[in-house]
Amino acid sequence: MYVLGLIAFCVAVGFGVLVPVLPVFARSFGVDNFAVGAVVSAFALMRLVCSPFCGRLIALFGERLVLAVGIYVVAVSSGLAGVSTSYEQLLVLRGLGGIGSAMFTVSATTLLLTSVRHEVRGRAAGFFQAGFLIGGMAGPAIGGLLSAISITAPFFFYAATLAVAGTVGLLLLRTRSACDDDAPALPVRPLREVLRDRGFQAACLVNLGQGWSSFGVRSALVPVLVVEVLGRDTSWTGIAFTCAAVVQTIAVGPAGRFVDTVGRRPAMVLGTSLAAAAILAVAFAPNIGVLIAVLCVYGVSAAFLGTAPAAAVGDAAGARGGTPVAIFSMSSDVGAILGPLVAGFLADQVGYPVAFAVGAALLLVGTAASVRMPRQSPQPTPVTVPSDPEGGDERRLG
């Protein structure tokens, strides 16, 4: 878990460094705003397209190798993107980065969920999420400093942090066979059984709503709302998002404990309900102070939504982590791709309140699905392991 947290931090720092300069660098090739958006969408689109194949790769080569190779793919493509001589090169390289990102995300999440026991799975997901959050907060500040040196410097910094993360994964992570003494003995459930699991279905719907609301509504519309509706400088968007990220980071630990002690179901119901109310309230914030407060409330809900659904997927998937985790990841990617487009269209045609209300409605769909989950989180099926070749004494692993 410590190794995965460190890898998450390195990946998030590098990604955050790239955020302030990627649109500007794409614009330097003389393209329009749609083409700039395509560079961002290409990464997410390739993640979505390639995620279904990651489960098979994990079954063939193991989580550790797929994770490291995926990170190296993003590192090399990012370094080459920094020396792109045309927009087309930049677009292709960012798409290749999305392939590596899918490999990393699915393999890291699979290793996370299958390496810890049921009773600490929420806290483990929270620790992993905290690595991303802390790195994500540090990244944009570093990126701003590097961009003063060169607009392409953040690309090389990103490649370097990813190279470190991939090397850490190769050297410090162990294969699943080497982890057998530490990891829980989990049942292998048929995929069709996993897909029928109400907890798994709810987790995917919640992840869809979270991807749509976080990337499609919050990230796409809040910066415009701050400038055009509240009449504030763009720097206030960064302040608001930083405050929300700090609150979310603080809340991750308590949220993980809540998920493990109270249950996945109440955590998902609470998180989606709170997120729906907060994202809807953003559209009606009368001033920047209220907006920051509402985004901080959303940060608290995001702490629950970053831990409980992942834990529910681990409960439902058992030892079959790769393909179910890929489906779970894809649900968020669908929201991240469609969300900005639909939210932007609705904001232009009928106004901000409707655009935010659609995001809130999707989160409430997740609430309804979470209510249908079993009240008790399913415990892993006990596995009987003989302690000696004759099968004398036995111990039960949960």
pLDDT confidence of residue 382: 42
pLDDT confidence of residue 250: 93
Tokens of 358: 């659609």
**Where residue 154 falls among pLDDT bands split at 50, 70, 90?**
confident
**Where residue 14 falls among pLDDT bands split at 50, 70, 90?**
confident
185 or 93, which is more confident: 93
Task: Report the pLDDT averaged over residues 380-398.
Answer: 39
Question: Cα separation of 326 and 190, whole Å?
Answer: 15
- Pairing verdict, β 394-397 and 383-386: antiparallel
What are the pLDDT digits (tens) for 264-279? 999 999 999 999 999 9
- Predicted confidence (pLDDT) at residue 185 exceeds the cutoff of 70: no
Question: Cα separation of 318 and 382, whole Å?
Answer: 12
36-44 long-range CB contacts below 8 Å, 24 or more apart? 37/340, 38/91, 39/90, 39/91, 39/94, 40/94, 41/337, 42/91, 42/94, 42/95, 42/98, 43/94, 43/95, 43/97, 43/98, 43/101, 44/98, 44/333, 44/336, 44/337
pLDDT confidence of residue 279: 94
What are the pLDDT digits (tens) for 16-60? 788 767 877 888 888 876 777 778 778 888 988 998 898 889 888
Question: Cα separation of 35 and 195, whole Å?
Answer: 37
pLDDT confidence of residue 380: 44
**Highest mean pLDDT: which range of 92-96, 185-189, 390-394:** 92-96
**Highest mean pLDDT: which range of 119-123, 280-284, 326-330:** 280-284
pLDDT confidence of residue 172: 85
Beta bridge partners of 386: 394
pLDDT confidence of residue 390: 38
**Where residue 303 falls among pLDDT bands split at 50, 70, 90?**
very high
Q: What is the DSSP letter of 84?
A: -
**Where residue 395 falls among pLDDT bands split at 50, 70, 90?**
very low
- Predicted confidence (pLDDT) at residue 392 exceeds the cutoff of 50: no
- Predicted confidence (pLDDT) at residue 191 exceeds the cutoff of 90: no
Q: Are 315 and 264 in contact (CB under 8 A)?
A: yes
Q: How many CA atoms lie within 13 A of 245 on its CB side?
A: 22
- Predicted confidence (pLDDT) at residue 280 exceeds the cutoff of 90: yes
Question: Cα separation of 143 and 137, whole Å?
Answer: 11
pLDDT confidence of residue 377: 44
pLDDT confidence of residue 319: 56
62 or 189, which is more confident: 62
pLDDT confidence of residue 281: 94
pLDDT confidence of residue 187: 60
Whole-number mean pLDDT of the chain?
Answer: 83
What are the pLDDT digits (tens) for 230-259? 888 767 877 888 888 889 999 999 999 999
Give the CA angle between residues 7, 321, 379 to the nearest 5°: 110
pLDDT confidence of residue 348: 82
**Where residue 324 falls among pLDDT bands split at 50, 70, 90?**
confident
pLDDT confidence of residue 33: 66
Q: How many CA atoms lie within 13 A of 337 on its CB side?
A: 18
What are the pLDDT digits (tens) for 341-383? 888 888 888 888 998 999 999 999 999 999 999 875 444 444 4
Task: Report the pLDDT averaged over residues 303-311.
Answer: 92
DSSP per position, 277-336? HHHHHHTT--SHHHHHHHHHHHHHHHHHHTTHHHHHHHHHHBT--HHHHHHHHHHHHHHH
Q: Are 17 and 139 in contact (CB under 8 A)?
A: yes
The distance in angstroms from the start CA to the end CA of the chain is 20
DSSP per position, 205-261? HHHHHHHIIIIIIIIHHHHHHHHHTS---THHHHHHHHHHHHHHHHHHHHHHHHHHH
Domains of the chain: 1-174 (1.20.1250.20), 191-374 (1.20.1250.20)
Question: Cα separation of 291 and 286, whole Å?
Answer: 8
- Exposed/middle/buried for residue 177 (C-beta within 10 Å: 0-12, 13-18, 19+): exposed
Overall residue count recorded for the chain in this entry: 398
**Highest mean pLDDT: which range of 109-113, 174-178, 206-210:** 206-210
